Amino acid sequence: MNKDKINNDMIKSWEWFIEHGYTDPKEMIDHNGNLDLPEAFMQIFVAYNQHNIAEGKAWDTWPKWELSSTSIKQDFHCAYDQEFDSEVTKTVRQHWFAAMEFMHAHEEISFDGYTIIIKGQHGNTFSFDFALGNETWGKPGTYAAQKVILDTNAKKPKAWMWAPQQYPFSYYVGHSLGPNWQCPEHIPKYGGETVGHTPESTFLMTGPDETFPANLLSLMEMCIDDADIWKTQYEYIQRFDDYDEGILNYWRNGRRVQEWNNLNDKKVIE
């Protein structure tokens, strides 16, 4: 039986592309470069989905073997065992297709090394590092050092015994409003409001607790939308400000406010 049929056309040979008038995928991928960089990683999917791009169809062709040269999980290095994939693995593959297709389709998305830069529709700019080896994103300009650590650990004897090095800047997103920012005017209810103590031009933005590519897609969509992301951050910071104020009201000089008041009442009686 034809292997392409077994795998629901998820795999196409290099020869198939040439025979159908497309560029040999090998010619579109820098096999000697760093394929963990977001633009290079995306280009692997682009090379194998030229036909879908040309025809305006959803991406569905998994790379032949090039993903084995990246830090993506081993389960996704190739698609030859697609018929044996678990439902979870199949779902994650679809999420990767969606994330890479979105990244490629939007001119508002650009790259600088590991950093993905996105210009929102209201003029604000967001940036974050693509941390494939940790399956997260992080503060722009920080993942290069983390990647050196991961690569060094991978070369150690019995590397599989080493726990993945934690990435201290996970889920931080940079933005163009600067420290102590004001909520943009186009945000209903909160427009023009100044947030509390935010000394850096970053905020913490976690995903909706799905797969990494699904979370990545959600983040890119929010950055381009350039609206709900600010509302989410403003409310998040306000909750912490309210919490801090509550703590200050509850404690004074290491004592609960009620204990302090009781002590003052006692002194008055005496």
Residues 50 and 141 in one domain: no
3-class SS at 100?
helix
Is residue 61 located within the same domain as residue 137? no
Indicate if 84 and 112 belong to the same structural domain: no
Q: pLDDT tens across 116-169, in order?
A: 999 999 999 999 999 999 999 999 999 999 999 999 888 888 766 777 788 999
Residue after which a domain boundary falls, among 79, 105, 131: 105
Tell me, yes or no, whether 202 and 240 share the same domain: yes
Residues 95 and 112 in one domain: no
pLDDT at 186 over 70: yes
Cβ pair 202, 85 in contact under 8 A = no
Task: For residues 69 and 114, state if they share a domain.
Answer: no
- Residue pointed to by tokens 């102590």: 180
How do residues 255-264 score in pLDDT, each as one tens digit?
444 544 554 4
CB-side neighbour CA atoms (13 Å) of 76? 22
Q: What angle do CA 73, 95, 104 make, to 5 degrees?
A: 100
Gyration radius from the chain CA atoms: 24
Residue ending a domain, choose from 62, 79, 105: 105
Same domain, 187 and 142: yes
- What are the pLDDT digits (tens) for 165-183? 889 999 999 999 999 899 9
Residue range of the domain that includes 61:
1-105
| End-to-end Cα separation, the chain, in angstroms | 97
Same domain? For 268 and 134 the reply is yes
pLDDT at 97 over 90: yes
Same domain, 99 and 191: no
* Domain end position, chosen among 89, 105, 121: 105
Question: Same domain, yes or no, for 77 and 153?
Answer: no
Q: How confident is the model over 202-213, as pLDDT tens digits?
A: 999 998 889 999
Taking only the tens place, the pLDDT of each residue in 196-236 is 778 899 999 998 889 999 999 999 999 999 999 999 999 98
